[in-house]
Structure 1
Amino acid sequence: MSVYVYAITAGSHPLRLDGVTGVGDPPRPLRVVEASASELAAVVSDAPDGLRAKRRDVLAHETVLENLMGQSTVLPLRFGAVAPDDDTVRDTLEERAEAYQERLRALEGCTEFHLKVSCDEDALLREVLRQSADARRLNDDIRAGRGGQELKLALGELVAQEVRVRHESFASGIVEALRPLAREVKSSEAVGDDFLNVSFLLERPRQQEFVARESTLAEEYGEDFSFRVHGPLPPYSFV
């Protein structure tokens, strides 16, 4: 039977699993796969057939990680990590021991906070027209009927470029304001209306300071911006 993997830990982790169960219906019992040569371990269970990201199983996965993180440092795996068997898990721990041990040291005493930011599109377009003389001129010509489709395309390209520049400037300013509080920062591609999608690895004593600073930034940027911060989370982005 295939094996569902929740986390990788140091061999010295307490690994107290009493009262905690894994994914599946009925929930699968947890067990530890040890790789004594590398002083690493993995918390696993049997993987249920047809595993899907159902709320019950996602919550079970998160509960296992929260339990382990409350005891010591872990490398959390995202939901759905499956290996063929215990021997494969053990071999992987041995083969990648140096990298896993380095990440365990880097994540010691840390959690992840994830921040996404978007800006009201209409407000940003108004700012572009207010600040860009070229955009205003093109817009005025179009509204006066002095240009055709080519003029509209030119305005669209100019506005898109101006928006990109502002998004990049906003994103850089926000990250640099928060970076001093983090041990590591990892940016991901922003999608949809967001211009910023970034994760911060924070030492636990700095969490409240980070949240306070993020709240201050949101106030400084104003009501046209939407700041959404989530955490503390298992440090998935930094494994």
Structure 2
Amino acid sequence: MSVYVYSITAAAHPRNLGGLVGVGPAPAALRTVEAGPLCAVVSDSPKELRPKRRDLLAHQGVQERLMTDGTVLPLRFGLTAPDDETVRAALEQHRDEYVQRLTALEGCVEYHLKAAVAEDVILRQVLLESSEASALNNEIKAGTSSPELPLALGELVAREVQARHQALAASIAEALSPHTRQQRTSEPAGDDFLSVSFLVDHGHQESFLTAEKGITNEFGADVNLRLSGPLPPYSFV
């Protein structure tokens, strides 16, 4: 039977997994596979595995439990191996790399921040602050403009919106970076202009959260900031 792999820890990690179960419709018991200084937390894998809510929560629950007692390399949902020996071989083959990452992540958690600005808010800012956009808009409203002007205004507004998004994203990252070890950006989805993960050590969590709250208060209702965490450091494995 194939093996589902949840995470990697140091062999000395207490791995208190009591009360937790694995993924799948008939969850198997969690167990460990050790190789020298490393250990993988695994279970028998179901024949069919889909990212259902119950299974995602089971996967996340393992990471969060391990995180409370020490450093963990959380693996992405859905990782499987043919058997325990394959897992052990992988731990041995990548021993130095995994040990290095565990050392780098010791005492750290991840926070993920997303940000969006309401379309009407940023359009209003563009029309107020860009004399060119304001002039084009007034000419169109007057009803005597060329048919090409709405297109020109649209292109100008798109450029201005992108520039403002980039400036906002940079200012937020700059304000939070002194309280973090690393940060990783990802492609924003939907209306978001920012999607970034921060690696924060325990000693800086309070100052990081204070800085994030200050940014939220500074922008007020105009910018929608959503912070998730503390999380297992998925983005930094």
Which of the five TM-score ranges fits, normalised by the shorter chain?
over 0.9
Between the aligned partners of 1:209 and 1:59, the Cα distance in structure 2 is 29
Aligned to 1:125: 123
State the match for 2:6 in structure 1: 6
> Where in structure 2 are there 5+ consecutive unaligned residues?
none
User: Does 2:150 match 1:159?
Assistant: no
1:47 counterpart letter in structure 2: S
Displacement of 1:63 after TM fit? 1.7
Which is worse superposed, 25-34 or 185-194? 25-34
- Residue 193 of structure 1 is matched in structure 2 by 191
Q: Distance in 1 between matches of 2:233 and 2:192?
A: 22
- Please tell me whether residue 57 in structure 1 is matched to residue 65 in structure 2: no
Q: Could you tell me how far apart the structure 2 residues matched to 1:232 and 1:66 are?
A: 9
Q: Tell me the residue number matched to 1:21.
A: 21
SS in 2 for 1:34: strand
- Match among 89, 109, 112 for residue 111 of structure 1: 109
Matches within 5 A, 1:60-209: 60-209=58-207
Task: Look up the equivalent residue of 1:170 and give its one-letter code.
Answer: L
Which whole-Å deviations, capped at 9, do the CAs of 1:95-130 have from their partners, x for residues lacking one? 222221111111101111100010111111111111
Query: CA shift at 1:147, angstroms?
Result: 2.5
Q: Partners of 2:95 and 2:72 in 1: how far apart?
A: 14
Structure 1 residues 112-164: Cα deviation after superposition (integer angstroms, max 9, x where no partner): 11000101111111111111111111111111123343211111111100111
SS in 1 for 2:228: strand
CA deviations on 1:141-188 (whole Å, 9 max, x unpaired) are 111123343211111111100111110000000011001111111111
Q: Which runs of 5+ in 1 are unaligned?
A: none
Which digits, 9 at most, give the CA deviation of each residue in 1:6-42, with x for residues without a partner?
1011122222333322112332111111122xx2111
Which range moves more in the overlay, 139-148 or 223-232?
139-148
Moved more, 145-154 or 134-143: 145-154
Matched residues, number: 237
Whether 1:48 aligns to 2:41 is no
* Percent identity (aligned): 56
- TM-score where L is the length of structure 1: 0.94
1:214 and 2:212 aligned: yes
Q: What is the one-letter code of the residue matched to 2:208? A: F
